[in-house]
Amino acid sequence: MTLLMDLGLVLVFGTLLGCIAKILKQPLLLAYIAAGVIIGPVGLALITSRAEIGTLAELGVAFLLFVVGIQSNFGQLFKLKKTIVIGSLAQVAATTCIALALMQFAGFGFIESVYIGLILAFSSTAIVVKQLSNMNLVSTLHGRLIIGFALVQDTLAILLLPILAEPILLFSVPLAGSFLLGIFILAFFAIPLNRVILPKLLKRFSEPTELFYLILVSCCFGFIYLSNLLNFSIVVGAFIGGLTLSAMPYSFEASGKIRGLRDFFATVFFVSLGMQVGFAFAGLPIAVLLLMFLALYFINPLVYFTISLASGLKTKSALFVGLALGQASEFSFILANQGLRLGQISPELFSASILAITASMASTPYLMERSDTIYSLLSRISRPFFPLSYKAKLGKKERKLECLPGQSCEGHTIVMGAGLLGQQLVSALKGTQPLVVVDHDSEVVQRLLAEKVPVVYGEAANQEVWEKIGLAKARVLISTISETKEATALMRKAKKANPAIVAIARAGNFSNALDLYKNGADYVLLPEVVGSNILLKHLADFLETGQTCKISNLEDEFLNYLREKTKEEKGT
């Protein structure tokens, strides 16, 4: 009951501060952290139990990483693998070594110094993905680099968590074997789930949506439970549970379905993070705090800026990458908690770490949104000494973005709905120009995948789907969906995101057609009107000539056509 009441306080204060932040046009993340400070031990002390705060925070970050896992498509980052892997490892090594050396010089122990180095080295995947989505930059080259760097860091953190908890793993054969066995067991469940079980379950039970939703949440909790049994952190299980869904055509719809749950637990996490801000670090040398902020705001951005430039990114984009990754990670929080719980870092260092993590996360949205201003300022300052410019070797790749593997993210045609009408359009268009299809019928999706047609399982109203199919850069949008409200909203939002797009829609009646035109459609088709006009024409021919040969011929042709299409649907 106490945990339930604490959860209620977290949500109420998070909502109140969130509303104030919205009015003041400030990031919601900052509001949630401020709410935590207010209700935590340094504020009104409405929640003071460290165990309860830790439980809320760990559950929150577990669901955050479950969603991050779903959105993590390593396949799309394959072309940038060298830059992403080498760059991430180089940055983590550089930051950790610098922090380790300085902490050792200040008189701290080796294990404490390693913890602080790693806490400062990792960047937040959840924050950068959310902010890139808000700024519509997920599909850009520098957006994909940022996400790739963060995902490699997450993978590295998952491997390091148990090793830091028990460093003897590196030297004890039995313990190392136990650790590797645990990894094998997680993979043993994840791989068949990803390849066989979940695709069949989601195909069979995608309707009703409650079952689809429950399968997703059950997958998360199943891996959390398994991870706990194997003595891994529950966030490791949640992240792997998300990864099992990431490569399937249902992943975009899954991400949209659990958006509400993600936002709920994101609020819980950031409010609980604010609750842990304290002033127990008063006895620490001021140099330690300066080191933490120096690493997060200067060393990490500088390393990523340099790596991005060396890989061939434009100077402005490279600076954006550095600013986007200049914060601590959810795993930094988990590392700090683990170190405190195991007595590997002091309460003073823990408090200082939480302050640095919180401040860096809260400032990230400001830095990303103001990257152009920062770039202009740095350009003016550096101009007398050296020009802040660099030839972009990756420029060609940046102009030829991909929203789906092998598909251009610019100038393509989107077909929303692959029913009878949509199927005919897809058959006529595929192979002639870049094409992406969206449908909410799992059988249709599987059929199109078998035909090697780029397809996304999802609804027309799903924001993640729009970003994935490159709606803002598309040339033509064809909506064959029959739900009037959904189609009308799609036309309106498509024109807002991409005023140059040619929007074509179908309507069921005259008033629906008028609504679609009012909301931006360039052309509206009424199949019933077209069909009735053709029928009237043939009826008029019969009444005028008294001959039925034309109608008979049409009937024979149409019946043959229907038989062929029926065989195709049945796969015979």
C-alpha distances in Å from residue 51, one per residue of 48, 57, 148, 227, 272: 9, 10, 34, 20, 11
- What is the H or E stretch that residue 457 is in? strand 455-457
* C-beta of residue 228 within 8 angstroms of C-beta of residue 433: no
CA pair distance 468, 246, nearest whole angstrom: 13
Scanning the structure block, which residue is given the tokens 């945990």?
3
What does the block give as tokens for 300?
């990490």
Kindly report the length of the chain. 572
Q: What is the pLDDT of residue 507?
A: 80
- Bridge partners (DSSP) of residue 524 are 505
**Residue-wise pLDDT tens for the chain (572 aa)?**
677 788 888 889 999 999 998 898 787 888 888 898 898 888 888 887 766 666 777 777 788 778 777 766 655 555 567 788 888 888 999 999 998 898 888 888 888 899 999 999 998 887 887 788 777 676 677 787 888 888 888 888 877 877 787 776 555 666 667 777 777 888 888 888 877 788 778 777 766 667 877 888 888 888 888 888 887 778 778 888 887 877 666 666 676 677 777 778 778 888 888 887 777 766 777 888 888 888 889 999 999 988 888 877 778 888 899 999 988 888 888 888 888 888 888 888 888 888 888 888 888 888 888 888 888 888 777 666 555 544 445 444 443 444 555 555 677 888 888 777 777 788 888 777 788 888 876 667 777 877 778 877 766 666 667 777 778 788 888 888 877 677 888 888 888 888 888 888 888 777 777 888 888 888 887 776 666 666 677 677 767 776 655 555 555 555 565 566 566 656 54
Q: What is the pLDDT of residue 9?
A: 87
Q: What is the pLDDT of residue 402?
A: 46
CATH 3.40.50.720 placement within the chain: 405-525
Q: What is the pLDDT of residue 570?
A: 60
- Quickly count: other Cβ atoms within 10 Å of residue 22's Cβ: 12
Residue 439, phi then psi, degrees to nearest 5 = -150, 155
CA pair distance 505, 490, nearest whole angstrom: 10
C-alpha distances in Å from residue 356, one per residue of 34, 51, 217, 297: 14, 21, 32, 10
State the fold for domain 405-525. Answer: Rossmann fold (3.40.50)
CATH 1.20.1530.20 placement within the chain: 9-379
Domain at 9-379: CATH code? 1.20.1530.20
- Bridge partners (DSSP) of residue 281 are none
Q: What is the pLDDT of residue 390?
A: 44
CA pair distance 329, 126, nearest whole angstrom: 8
- What is the H or E stretch that residue 525 is in? strand 523-525
Q: What is the pLDDT of residue 384?
A: 61
Q: What is the pLDDT of residue 171?
A: 58
* C-beta of residue 65 within 8 angstroms of C-beta of residue 235: yes
* CA angle, residues 561, 567, 568, in degrees to nearest 5: 90
Q: What is the pLDDT of residue 399?
A: 39
- Predicted model pTM: 0.65
Q: What is the pLDDT of residue 13?
A: 92
